[in-house]
């Protein structure tokens, strides 16, 4: 993560902040006012990623506040082809046991169609995303 710089950033008021780093990873930080992530929030997130990545599939890293949930409809959308239209791979920071439990439930129940994994630190997540980049891109373009 040395020498990473933010190339572009955008925000959606009361929903999220998004930053594109020089390594091609987009960091999404949900606003603390978002307690339950709904389909509408995920659609706004996609618009931000589309803007930052100029319409390309991107590597995404999510940080979340301590108390955040995803609605049933949000979970289904997040794991679908429509919900991952701009996602190449997804890493989520889960820095406590409650988040880990919810994330594992999401992955096991919803079965996302893009590589999706949790990490306790941003550094671990970025390493995995960078390593995943080539294999995810090959799989995407082979379809």
Domains identified in the chain and CATH numbers: 6-133 (3.30.750.24)
Q: What is the pTM of this model?
A: 0.86
Name the residue among 18, 22, 97 with its Cα closest to residue 60: 18
Decide which of 69 and 53 is more confident.
53
Torsion of CA 49, 51, 52, 57, to 10 degrees: 50
Q: Tell me: the pLDDT tens digits for 98-130? A: 767 777 767 767 677 888 888 889 999 999 999
Is 80 exceeded by the pLDDT of residue 53? yes
| CB-CB neighbours of 28 under 10 Å | 20
Token output for 79: 């794991």
Contact 83, 90 (CB under 8 A): no
């Amino acid at each position: 993560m040395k020498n990473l710089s933010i190339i572009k950033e955008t925000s959606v008021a009361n929903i999220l902040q998004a930053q594109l780093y020089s390594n091609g990873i987009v960091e999404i930080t949900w606003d603390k006012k978002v307690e339950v992530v709904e389909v509408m929030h995920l659609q706004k997130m996609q618009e931000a990623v589309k803007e930052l990545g100029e319409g390309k599939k991107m590597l995404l890293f999510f940080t979340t506040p301590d108390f955040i949930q995803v609605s049933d409809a949000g979970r289904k959308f997040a794991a679908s082809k429509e919900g991952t239209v701009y996602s190449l791979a997804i890493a989520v920071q889960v820095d406590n046991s409650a988040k880990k439990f919810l994330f594992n439930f999401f992955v096991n129940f919803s079965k996302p169609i893009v590589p999706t994994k949790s990490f306790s630190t941003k550094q671990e997540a970025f390493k995995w995303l960078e390593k995943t980049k080539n294999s995810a891109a090959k799989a995407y373009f082979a379809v």
